[in-house]
Structure 1
Amino acid sequence: MLPLLLLLPLRQTLFAPSSAPFSRLFTTRAISTSTSLWRPSITARTGAGAVSAVFGQTRGMKVRSSVKKLCDGCKSVRRKGGKYVYIICDKNPKHKQRQG
């Protein structure tokens, strides 16, 4: 974290009042654009709450060189002509794995 003494000159230049309305508009637009790029969660909260409730999170599977059963609900399955070994779990979806 930068000390406050180093941030003070930067803050004064960014938020200094200017006489030209165009430069003030340009500075405000640049600050808001960079903030939305850094923290997309700020802009996503405004109207995307209803959309995210409709679509659930789809969990993928881990790809490992050596798969193993992690609990008693995990099952080993061979698919695609025996090329891949899958671990599928009924109890915990985080345990899904594929060897490859």
Structure 2
Amino acid sequence: MLRGLIASGRLLANRATTQPARLSRNLVTAAGPTSRCSLPHTHHHHPVAAVPALARGMKVRSSVKTMCDGCAVVKRKGRVYVICSKNAKHKQRQG
């Protein structure tokens, strides 16, 4: 069984190394040794889309606390929230 795996691995390795060489020789002989290959351009360039700004989530804590003077404690929907007008990282939700 081990010999069969090794033999099949060698066959695959030989096949992988010989086929591109045959292909390149065929292209050179068909197009001529000095002319350029006239194969179509296969990949397309797409403009890179701008990464949208990610909305910050809230920290979920058992006890919320204000972190700066811009933080405000509000109670909505039966929960306690900390909303900060100065730093979005300070947003918290109790629960």
- Structure showing greater radius of gyration is 2
TM score, norm. by length of structure 2: 0.53
Cross-structure match for 1:20: 15
Cross-structure match for 2:93: 98
Partner secondary structure for residue 49 of structure 2:
helix
Structure 1: any 5+ residue segments left out of the alignment?
1-16, 25-45
Q: Separation in 2 of the partners of 1:77 and 1:93?
A: 15
Cross-structure match for 1:88: 83
Question: How far did residue 21 of structure 1 move?
Answer: 2.4
Question: How far did residue 84 of structure 1 move?
Answer: 0.4
Structure 2: any 5+ residue segments left out of the alignment?
1-11, 20-44
Residue 50 (structure 1) aligned with residue 44 (structure 2): no
| CA distances 1:6-55 after superposition (whole Å, capped 9, x unpaired) | xxxxxxxxxxx921129x9xxxxxxxxxxxxxxxxxxxxx9684241xx2
2:74 aligned to which of 67, 74, 77 = 77
Aligned length: 58
Residue 67 (structure 1) aligned with residue 60 (structure 2): no
RMSD: 2.8
Letter of the aligned partner of 1:56 in structure 2? A
